[in-house]
Amino acid sequence: MSSKSVHGSAGSGTPVPALKWLRELGPYVLIIGVAIALYQIASRISYTEIPGQMGPERWPKIIIALLICVSGFEIVRRIIVSVRPRAAAETVDDEGFSQQMEAHPMLVAAATAATVGYLLLLGLLGFFTATVLYLAAVMWIGGVRKPALLGLLSISFGFVFSFFFMTLIYVALPLGEGPFAQISLIVMKLVGAN
Amino acid sequence: MDTFHLLLAGFAEVFKWQDMVALVIGLCVGMAVSVLPGLGLVMGVVLALPFTYSMSLETSIILLTAIYMSGTYAGCYTAILYKIPGEPMDVPLLWDGWGMTMRGDAAKALGWALVAALTGGLVSSAVMVSLAGPLSKVALSFGAPEYFAAVFFGLTTVVALAGKSLPNALISLCFGLLVSTIGIDATYGSERFTFGSDVLINGVPFVMVLVGMYGFGEILDKIGQGSKSVSLPAGSSTATSLPSWRELWGLRATLARSTTVGTLLGLIPGAGATISSFVAYGIERQYGKRGRQIGTGIPEGIVAPQIASTASVAGHMVPLLTLGLPGSGATAVILAAFLLHGVQPGPFMLKNPESALTVYTILASMFVSVIGMCLLGFVWIRLVIKVLKVPPGILIAVIAMFALIGAFADRNSMSDLWVVVIFGVLAWIMERVKLPVAPMVLGAILGPIAEDSFTRSMITYHDDWTMFFRSPISASLMFLSILSLVFPTLKKMISRASARKNADVKMAEAAAARAN
């Protein structure tokens, strides 16, 4: 992302739009807010106090204080940089929370959703069935759009992973419930897992 | 036993079949992940970590070190032959490597890269083996304040070298340190930041943080880049032609300079293979006999970055083995493997004959890895390069499965998988908002060590923080830490001031020209 789009009007000295302010400073303000809340939680950590000896809350409090100081410093620095009129030739450093947009952010969201779904369904569907579905979903998201190839690859990989994890390195993977447990048991028999 | 005999005993251990198989597998895996753009060698080490649970300590560390070592080498093939850098550290290689390929000297370019990797790897391993004993003796004299100062130095240099923005790197480090405080406190047994959740009482497992941030985070990153397959030019050959002795003698200064740079930078926490590679390239450009020609396709432009990146591996491994301090993402994973086996690497390992043998077996495996990866380069690389033709969707799905089930295999816990996904998404978001991931990961791993040494120091010295500046070792380390934080800011301020001055001069010249 170019630095120009972040600081846009700053160089000419005109006011910075609210949205840009929010994007620039919002995350730091959020961090300070969360840090203050954590500081309060740290103050309530219960322990048996020994006179003259630091308690278990001291270390997290030091880190939180550092977090607040750094974020506060960055907010002040960004405000000064944004409002200070500068020569046209002067470049602005491309730092801070400048958003760097992905080419395909929706694919990332879809892959995350597929993984969350996989974790939620793993207990119900069992390792084999859930893995076949998950592999098919991720391959589809990753650009493999031929249904026959998707089916063939995901089932084959399902067997390979079952063999690898169950038979070779003895990981106790979820079997699933009801009919899915039966499928898992058949697969286990086929891959030679006990 | 002295160093030489311990090293010989270490070689005998490496050549046992279990260790040898692990080493060869590690070399192959390291090569495979390093040729794939978007998948780093750290990811290779992370993905292999869960499979080490059932191995012996020696075998598992040999496997991970072999991945780390070969990960710094194989990327040269795709960089030189196809102009595709598998890793950021391979970028300087392609400037001159691709230039030589375009002139029809690809085989020679690959030969130079091989010689460079071999020289850098062997020389820096030898230097580091000789330093291991003295370093651990120094480390044995460390008290809690010195140890805290050493960890603090490691963390500050990682922050200083992590990215463009020092505040963002510090924020990332604080996140990691805070994550490490979740759970029951080791000194008082108090619950911290558990929010009443039973899952958080034992803390956030740092292995899951690693797998999430370096493994799942990278998978999301790769998905976000779209599904473009790499198209390889037809008829390209992976043949390697070694330089003659005369040619090697001609580059002796480059070889010496770059090996020194790589080894020394390896000792600095945070300065990984990528930084070593770029710095060595820059130094060669500035001080090399043919510095001005670098970038046009000359061997010096291949030799300097390749030597430095491979040499940095041994540089990072020795502080890990003798002080217990990881200086890079890969060594952080290797530290995790040690801790998973219930062993804390550090100076005490060299005091006990049995664990000293383990240390020297690992050190010996680095020599074997260097030679093995160069030999494998001839045979295995033809096959590895074909991985580039596999559609990214298939590759991502397979890697995601290894990351998830590998993480599950640790404790058969579903909550661990949620930790992996949460930290993976967090890593992806952090990359987008330009918060470097490395300080957070190292903060999460080194946090407990830092807190423990800090607490012990404060309790022993009755809350007097000045003790960190009293002993010569801790005072020097604290001074270096402060310097490493202040130096980048000072450098930036000076370069900004000089840029502003230059701009003013140019404007004045332009105004004078207009007036004339």
Q: Do A95 and B506 touch (CB under 8 A)?
A: no
Q: Do B224 and A53 touch (CB under 8 A)?
A: no
User: Lowest-confidence range among A110-119, A127-136, B44-53?
Assistant: B44-53
Q: Do B192 and A118 touch (CB under 8 A)?
A: no
Q: What are residue B184's DSSP bridge partners?
A: B191
pLDDT single digits (tens) A49-58:
887 788 899 9
CB-based contact, A38 to chain B, within 8 Å = yes
**Partner residue facing A143 (CB), from B187, B393, B455:** B393
pLDDT > 70 fraction of chain B, expressed in percent and rounded: 96
pLDDT single digits (tens) B66-125:
999 998 888 888 888 877 777 778 888 888 888 888 888 888 888 999 999 999 999 999
Q: Do A144 and B391 touch (CB under 8 A)?
A: yes
CB-based contact, A148 to chain B, within 8 Å = no
What ipTM was estimated for this complex? 0.84
**Partner residue facing A142 (CB), from B223, B451, B458:** B223
Give the global pTM.
0.82
Q: Is pLDDT of A12 > 50?
A: no
Cβ distance B310 to B116 under 8 Å?
yes
Q: How far apart are the first and last CA of chain B?
A: 81
The first and second tokens of residue B483, run together, are: 């310097």
Q: Do A142 and B396 touch (CB under 8 A)?
A: yes
Q: What is the pLDDT of residue A58?
A: 92
Which amino acid type is present at position B321?
A: L
Distance (Å) from the alpha carbon of A63 to chain B's nearest alpha carbon: 6
Q: Which residue has better confidence, A94 or A190?
A: A190
HEC profile of B166-206: HHHHHHHHHHHHHHHHCEECCCCCCEECCCCCHHHHCCCCH
Please report where in the chains the tokens 């005998």 appear, as a residue.
B12
Q: What is the pLDDT of residue A85?
A: 60
Number of domains in chain B: 1
pLDDT single digits (tens) B49-60:
878 888 899 999
Rounded distance between C-alpha atoms, residue B125 and residue B119, angstroms:
10
- Listed residue (B131, B134, B378, B353) closest to B241, CA to CA: B378
Q: Is pLDDT of B498 > 80?
A: no
Averaged pLDDT score across all residues of chain B: 85
pLDDT single digits (tens) A74-93:
999 888 877 766 554 444 44
Rounded distance between C-alpha atoms, residue B300 and residue B115, angstroms:
12
The first and second tokens of residue B500, run together, are: 């502003």
Q: What is the pLDDT of residue B229?
A: 61
What is the average pLDDT across B181-206?
Answer: 88
Structure confidence at residue B234 as a pLDDT band (50, 70, 90): low
Q: Could you say which DSSP state residue B229 is in?
A: P
In chain B, which residues have their Cβ closer than 8 Å to the Cβ of A77?
167
Q: What is the pLDDT of residue A103?
A: 66
pLDDT single digits (tens) B373-390:
988 887 777 777 777 778
In sequence order, which residues have a C-beta less than 8 Å from that of residue B383 and are 6 or more positions away?
none
Rounded distance between C-alpha atoms, residue B212 and residue B250, angstroms:
47
- Listed residue (B374, B294, B364, B318) closest to B116, CA to CA: B374
Q: How many DSSP H helices and E strands does chain A contain?
A: 6, 0
pLDDT single digits (tens) B130-149:
888 888 888 888 888 998 99
| Overall size of chain A counted in residues | 194
Give the containing element (helix H, strand E) for B318: helix B300-323
Q: Could you say which DSSP state residue B297 is in?
A: S
Please report where in the chains the tokens 């960089």 appear, as a residue.
B79
User: Lowest-confidence range among A61-70, A83-92, B197-206?
Assistant: A83-92
Cβ distance B30 to B274 under 8 Å?
no
Q: Do B428 and A123 touch (CB under 8 A)?
A: no
Cβ distance B147 to B450 under 8 Å?
no
pLDDT single digits (tens) B315-358:
888 888 888 888 778 888 898 899 888 888 888 888 888 888 99
| Overall size of chain B counted in residues | 516
Structure confidence at residue A4 as a pLDDT band (50, 70, 90): very low
Cβ distance A157 to A147 under 8 Å?
no
User: Lowest-confidence range among B208-212, B346-350, B360-364?
Assistant: B346-350
pLDDT single digits (tens) B273-306:
777 888 888 888 888 888 888 888 899 999 999 9
Q: Is pLDDT of B508 > 90?
A: no
Residue B436: C-alpha distances to residues B172, B174, B214, B219, B470 (Å): 7, 12, 12, 17, 33
In chain B, which residues have their Cβ closer than 8 Å to the Cβ of A101?
432
Q: What are residue B191's DSSP bridge partners?
A: B184
- The boundaries of the domain holding residue B449 are 1-515
Residue B5: C-alpha distances to residues B89, B121, B179, B367, B431 (Å): 35, 21, 43, 15, 47
Structure confidence at residue B38 as a pLDDT band (50, 70, 90): low
Other CB atoms within a 10 A radius of the CB of residue A5 amount to 11
Q: Please compute, for residue A194, the number of CA atoms within 13 A of its CA located in the half-sphere on the CB side.
A: 3
| Residue of chain B whose alpha carbon sits nearest to that of A144 | B393
pLDDT single digits (tens) A89-109:
444 444 455 445 556 889 999
Q: What is the pLDDT of residue B80?
A: 86
Q: Is pLDDT of B255 > 50?
A: yes
| Residue of chain A whose alpha carbon sits nearest to that of B226 | A104
Please report where in the chains the tokens 């102009």 appear, as a residue.
B83
Residue B226: C-alpha distances to residues A42, A92, B36, B168, B387 (Å): 43, 30, 15, 27, 17
Q: What is the pLDDT of residue A139?
A: 94
**Residues B33, B29, B394, CA angle at the centre, nearest 5°?**
55
**Partner residue facing A95 (CB), from B164, B400, B408:** B164
In chain A, which residues have their Cβ closer than 8 Å to the Cβ of B170?
66, 70
What is the average pLDDT across A97-123?
Answer: 83
What is the average pLDDT across B411-439?
Answer: 90
Q: Do A97 and B226 touch (CB under 8 A)?
A: no
Distance (Å) from the alpha carbon of B496 to chain A's nearest alpha carbon: 9
Q: What is the pLDDT of residue B270?
A: 64
User: With the C-alpha atoms ordered B286, B289, B291, B294, is the resulting torsion angle positive or negative?
Assistant: negative
Give the number of A-B residue pairs with CB atoms closer than 8 Å. 194
Residue B134: C-alpha distances to residues A188, B141, B153, B264 (Å): 53, 11, 20, 16
